[in-house]
Amino acid sequence: LARSMAEIAGLGGLLIVHAEDPHHLAEAPQRSGPAYADFLASRPRDAENTAIEGLIAHAKRLNARVHVLHLSSSDALPLIAAAKREGVRVTVESCPHFLTLTAEEVPDGATEFKCCPPIREAANQDALWAGLADGTIDCIVSDHSPCTTDLKTPDFASAWGGISSLQLGLP
């Protein structure tokens, strides 16, 4: 990552990253089935937080520009805010589904809500709103990823990972 980031920085480019650390994901419990709680446990906040922490460290060291896609973990907001205060060139987006839906509301088997990173708890959502209000989160994007209904099986492990979310961003 650092080598790629250095090359992109040398070209004046922007590195755009889906921030989930693969090592944290590999260590998380992986269960198939319809339980949303099991799916949520398979995509822990630490996977996002660790990836973002590493991106920020590399961006700071290399004076590189980075953009974090679809932030769902509010735990990363203090890291991002501190980096911005220090002049690190990092921007962050979140999505309407993270700001309007909560894990507590996702029924088991409702894989139409499966996305990565996942929809998290209500307290997390409140913190994302605060991060948007204070400018830590720079923009809201749809992350629109529709699919045919046959790809949304009731098993979170095998269902298509994406939300048809364009409509959530419309007034």
Tens of pLDDT, residue by residue over 26-80, are: 999 999 999 999 999 999 999 999 999 999 999 999 999 999 999 999 999 999 9
For 76, residues 6+ apart whose C-beta sits below 8 A from its C-beta are 19, 45, 48, 49, 52, 53, 68
CATH topology of domain 2-169: TIM Barrel (3.20.20)
Please give the average per-residue pLDDT across 100-116, as a whole number. Answer: 96
pLDDT band at 169 (very low <50, low <70, confident <90, very high): confident
pLDDT in the model for residue 23: 97
What is d(CA 37, CA 83) in angstroms, rounded to the nearest whole number? 32
pTM for this entry? 0.94
What is d(CA 142, CA 127) in angstroms, rounded to the nearest whole number? 19
What is d(CA 50, CA 45) in angstroms, rounded to the nearest whole number? 9
pLDDT in the model for residue 12: 96
DSSP string, 29-63: ----SS-HHHHHHHS-HHHHHHHHHHHHHHHHHHT
